[in-house]
Structure 1
Amino acid sequence: MELQRLRDVFRTALDLPADAPVDDLHYQDHEKWDSLAHMSLIAALEDEFDVMIDTEDVINMSSFGEATRILGKYGVDFNG
């Protein structure tokens, strides 16, 4: 459930099709994930999961996988 929410946030924030694979996305490896889109993604993640992401984590969120790890620090459970 939470993993699907995360996928949906990535697709929406990065303006990707609803069925676009995102699990292997990396920052700046995809044309739509630039610095501006990164800040939009962070804002969308904070809204969706009701968290405030620290600056260091904003900088370190370099992939979809890293986003799951970082959000886990804030209590979001992707294993359930």
Structure 2
Amino acid sequence: MTDTNRLVNVFVTALEIPESEVNDDLKYDQHKRWDSMAHMILIAQLEGEFDVMFDIDDIIDMSSFVQAKLILKKYNADLSL
């Protein structure tokens, strides 16, 4: 499984949304399922899936699917942008 597939699966699970909704247009402030509680679940699941520990700036900055890819690339995830 690619890192991109793993990332999509985490978003699907954490936000409880269909895979079809996980795309580069997905943003925190524009999706009703992505609230503050879902954000913390997402962070925890991403840290577990990718075996990383985000710093506080990364947690705050992760406001979109695209931003999640950019942040995970800092931790050496192999994700296409």
Is the pair's TM-score, using the shorter chain for normalization, greater than 0.5? yes
In structure 2, what is the equivalent of residue 73 of structure 1?
Answer: 74
Instruction: State how many pairs are aligned.
Output: 78
Q: CA deviation at 1:57?
A: 0.5
The two structures, once aligned, show a CA RMSD in angstroms of 1.0
Uncovered stretches (5+) of structure 2, i.e. residues with no partner: none
TM-score, structure 2 length as denominator?
A: 0.90
Asked if the contact 1:11/1:20 (under 8 Å) is kept, the reply is: no
Structure 2: distance between partners of 1:11 and 1:28:
17
Write the letter of the residue equivalent to 2:77.
V
**Match in the other structure for 1:49:** 50
Q: CA deviation at 1:42?
A: 0.2
**Unpaired segments ≥5 residues, structure 1:** none
Residue correspondence of structure 1 range 1-80 to structure 2 within 5 A: 1-17=2-18, 19-23=19-23, 24-79=25-80
CA distance in 1, matches of 2:76, 2:67: 15
- Code of the residue aligned with 1:22 in structure 2: it is V
Residue identity over aligned pairs, in percent, reads 54
Which stretches of structure 1, 4 residues or longer, exceed 3 Å deviation after superposition? none
The separation in 1 between residues aligned to 2:68 and 2:42, in whole angstroms, is 10
1:77 Cα offset (Å)? 1.3
1:21 Cα deviation from its structure 2 partner: 2.6
Which has the larger share of helix? Answer: 2
Cα offset for 1:26? 0.2
